[in-house]
Amino acid sequence: MNLRALGYFVALTERGSFSAAADACDVSQSTVSTQLKKLEDELGVELIDRSQREVKLTRAGEQVLVHAKEIG
């Protein structure tokens, strides 16, 4: 698991958008999106409900967020 990807995930949840998370992390929006997808693939769960326009965490995403904040 990549700690940088966890940081992008936390930034995304705190800022509510991929573009704002990318700006905060000084990377491109596609980097945040790609790293989040890789993190989800590694964990075998979806962390973000992509059917919504807003950033909405899945139940698994909520659990991962708690641990990601403890690590970060």
pLDDT at 51: 82
Per-residue pLDDT, averaged over 59-65, amounts to 96
pLDDT digits (tens, 9 = 90+) for 18-60: 999 999 999 999 999 999 999 999 999 999 998 878 889 999 9
For residue 72, pLDDT over 90 is answered with: no
Predicted structure pTM score: 0.91
Higher-confidence position of 12 and 1: 12
Is the distance from CB of 22 to CB of 35 less than 8 angstroms?
no
Q: Hey, what are 30's tokens?
A: 């596609």
| Residue 21: C-alpha distances to residues 42, 44 (Å) | 21, 23
For residue 12, pLDDT over 80 is answered with: yes
